[in-house]
Structures are given as structure tokens and as C-alpha cells.
Amino acid sequence: MKKKYIAVSLLLFLMIINSRQLAAQGNDTLTKVYSKYDFVPGEKVIFFDDFSSENTGDFPALWNTNGSGEVVTFGKYPGKWLKITNNRGATCLAEPLVLPDNYTIEFDLIPQKDPANNGNTACSFYIISTPKPKDILYGLARPGGTGTWFNFAYNNYYGSYYADATPNLSGNTPQFRLQADTKYRISIMVQKERIRLYLNEDKLFDLAKAMSKNFKYNMLRFQGGVPMFSNFRVATGLPDMRNKLLTEGKLVSYGIYFDVNSDKLKPQSAGTLKEIATILTENPALKIKIVGYTDSDGDDASNLDLSKRRAAAVKDALSSSYTIDAGRMETDGKGEKDPIAPNDNSTNKALNRRVEFIKL
């Protein structure tokens, strides 16, 4: 089979996007700023890592590299981060994922100035199909492989995307600039041959034929630069929220995000909230119960309280930001009760952190 190599290069210029920072803003801002944000994560989480179980200074167990890196904390943002420390190395999952036709990839990215490259903040992320998924050195463009490449940089020219041995894919990329030491949310949605990429709430790419239908993709890889990343999530399937809620009577959602140990909704919840609100608007007789769940980290009483407050926050957002009558919604929280999976690793814990919508 003829090798097909598709590279997608997104070159983002250095700029502060203070106007889109939502840290101190409420649900009204979430609605206004994210009204066009249509990213909804996949139905089932198959991989998650926030490095919370790793020791700082170590390289994380679920990843592999031919360069170097270590788990760090970063005072500006909570949690733990994998900092890549060698700009010539590649960092990928230790165990390959055979990805289906439809899936989503999300991660938080903090660009870092590379002292070995004149302070450049550039870094790249790859989605690859390779016959040797555990061989980092085998690379993207070797025989039998294909892949899509997103390059985040500040170089002084437009981003472009092109295909080897196929006609060029045309189009211009919006000029966005990434600031060093600033957190950005990268969200990628793949639907068969189509791929969309979002930077925070902005959709930067929507390409109908960027993924080869003749390959199964099985390697996710960072390469180049010295960025930090965390909250890396891969989920499969297209969530049919309407059918789940109206026909089956229960929707389990992984698209509602909160700050750590908080009931404050993150902005990337907007896509899912908008879909739920649309279903409720189009079915005015529908009433629902919103139930929050946590993983087992922390004590039982705190988890129960947190899950109840998170369910209440979802109700408040649907009411205040999407004009859904509060009388149509009940809330509850179960804490760490009724887990979907054992709380024995980061991926299973991510499965247990969920919000369920139950038809009444």
C-alpha cells in the first residue's frame, strides 16, 4: 500500500489572550464567549493521566521517551505536569492505543521557552499509524505509516497543512499567539477522515479529509520543544446524548469539567452543556435529575458534599446561562458511591468522575 503522509502544521504567534481568560468570570461569560464552542468529548474514556500518582522528579510510568522529562509542579497552575526537557526527543504513550474511527483527544499545554533554541516555544503533537507503535525511533514517515502533525509555534509565517503524494489541502490558519508559561486547552475531535482542532474555545482546523481511512492510528506523540502538559484524556465514540436521555432515560457525561476539588465549571464544559440545553429546549415536557459523582480520593463526606455541589452547579448553569426552567431539574450527589470502575488507576478514576442526567 502506498505510504500516505499527512502533516498538519499550525504555527501560532506569541500573544496574550487575556480577554478570554475566564478564571474570575461566571456562567454568563461562559455562555457568551463559548457560544460557538461545539467540542463534545467522546462517550467513553480509554486513557487519562494527570500525573497525580507520580512523584515529582520522576518520568511517569504510562509514558515513554527517547529524550528526557520529569513530573513537576508549577506554581501558576495547580496539579502535576510532565515537563519535556530535551527538545530533540519524542514522548509518547508507553502502551499504544488502537484508536477507532471516532475519538477525541484533550490535554492542557503550557508552552515553555527553550533555552537551547533561542527561547523558542515551538512544540508538536502527532497522531500516528505505525507498524511499530512501541518503537519511538521508527518515526512517522517510515514505510507503512501515516499521521497528522500539529505544530504549535511562533514562527513568523502562516500555518499550512499539506499532504505528500496527494493534492495540497488549501486554507489559511487564524493567527493565534501562544504565551510562554500560560495554560491552553487543546481539544481534538476525529470523526473518520475528518479532524477538528480547538485552542481553548477557538476552532482552528476543521479538515474533511485529513485522516486516512486505510489506516488504524495507534501512536500519540509529543516531539520538539520543551512544553509541559497534563490532564491528557482520550475518549472514544460519538456521544448520542439525545438518544441516551430521551430513549434510554440516562446519559452518563464526561464532558462536564470542574476545577480540582471545586464545583466551579470549567469553560470547556460549554459544548456539552449547550447540547443538554438544546435537548431540554426542544422537549419542554422533559424533566431531569442531575447526579454528580467523584472518584475515591479524599474522605467520603467531602466527596459526597462535592458531588452534590457540582450537580447544583450544572443545574445553575443550565438555568442561568441557557434559560432552562430550574423547576424542571432536580439534583443529587453520590460522591464515590456506585463506581463504574475500580479506583485503582488514573483512567478508572476519570471514569468514575462523571455527571449523570436521568430522565424523570
Q: Which residues pair with 44 in a beta bridge?
A: 236
Do 304 and 202 share a structural domain? no
Compute φ and ψ for 278, nearest 5 degrees: -65, -45
Cα separation, 179 vs 159, whole angstroms: 17
Quote the cell numbers at residue 56.
Answer: 515529582
Please count the structural domains in the chain: 2
pTM of the model: 0.84
The pLDDT of residue 199: 87
Do 316 and 197 share a structural domain? no
Quote the cell numbers at residue 22.
Answer: 475566564
Do 118 and 190 share a structural domain? yes
Do 122 and 79 share a structural domain? yes
Q: Model confidence over 311-341: pLDDT tens digits?
A: 999 999 999 999 999 999 999 999 999 999 9
Do 187 and 154 share a structural domain? yes
Residue for cell digits 424523570? 360
Least Cα distance to 59 among 87, 106, 91 occurs for 91
Domain residues for 201?
A: 5-236
Instruction: Name the domain boundary from 236, 263, 288.
Output: 236
Instruction: Name the domain boundary from 236, 264, 295.
Output: 236
Q: What is the DSSP string of 312-329?
A: HHHHHHHHHTT---GGGE
Instruction: Name the domain boundary from 201, 236, 271.
Output: 236
Q: Model confidence over 25-77: pLDDT tens digits?
A: 334 434 443 446 789 999 999 999 999 999 999 999 999 999 999 999 999 99
Do 143 and 23 share a structural domain? yes
* Coil, helix or strand at residue 75: coil
The pLDDT of residue 307: 96
Do 324 and 353 share a structural domain? yes
Least Cα distance to 179 among 86, 109, 82 occurs for 109
Do 53 and 154 share a structural domain? yes
Cα separation, 262 vs 34, whole angstroms: 21
The CATH number of residue 66's host domain is 2.60.120.560
Do 349 and 245 share a structural domain? yes
Do 155 and 51 share a structural domain? yes
**CB of 35 closer than 8 Å to CB of 203:** no
Positions in the chain whose pLDDT score sits under 70: 1-36, 139-144, 153-177
